[in-house]
Amino acid sequence: MSESTGDRDVWGRVDRYLEAALLPEDPVLSAALARNAEAGLPAIDVSPTQGRFLHLLARIAGARRILEIGTLGGYSTIELARALPADGTLVTCEYSPDHAAVAQANLEHAGLADRVEIRVGAALDTLPTLEGPFDLVFVDADKQNNAAYLDHAVRLGRPGTVIVVDNVVRAGRVLTGGDPPTDGTRRMFAALEKDDRLEATAVQTVGAKGYDGFVLARVR
């Protein structure tokens, strides 16, 4: 599906309207984005409305242990960690030591470093060392490995664990594939189609970040 410049302009203006209506000014999250930009991190964090969606989903699920695959600068990590009870924990996996250092600084500034552990290294190496169960898993890392990440999420979950996989529509390219991230996402959908351990759906989204979508799944 193609998107016109006009469409994206409207999507962005609607996002800003929704943020103004629903999300109060948040100096901690603003500072995290500023620190990410200063460090040269790519501007691929979830949008503010998407971050709040993750926060609310974790609260609705009553999550006490959260697993995040793909930390970047910790913007989504902050939203998820804020949803935890005082004795809750979050483990987040980040490939880049530089990104992890920025995320650690953001978490310390947010007052959340005591409940978040950053595991640095390739997630496919660190995930086998973790012990579940986790109540919610958010997957937002290299899309080539989405099928493997989904399998680890189920292994580290329990009946009722909520799993979210981001960036699965890819401006419609998921229909045909043709690049490694999208081909990895298509392999994940092929795995989902056959995996009777999960019940799942996918939702298309538009906004300031463009046209994309996410998978929402629950371990049976």
pLDDT in tens, 195-216: 999 999 999 999 988 999 999 9
SS3 state of residue 159: coil
Q: Which domains does the chain have, with CATH numbers?
A: 5-219 (3.40.50.150)
Amino acid occupying residue 189? F
Angle at 123 between CA 32 and CA 46, to 5 degrees: 35
Give CA–CA dist 2/18, Å, rounded. Answer: 24
Asked if residue 2 has pLDDT above 70, the reply is no
Give the orientation angle of helix 75-82 with respect to helix 97-110, to 10 degrees: 40
Q: What pLDDT, on the 0 to 100 scale, is given for residue 7?
A: 87
List, for residues 81-97, the tens digit of each pLDDT value: 999 999 999 999 999 99
Predicted structure pTM score:
0.95
- Binning pLDDT at 50, 70 and 90, where does residue 122 land? very high
Q: What pLDDT, on the 0 to 100 scale, is given for residue 8?
A: 85
Cis-peptide into 133, omega within 30 deg: yes
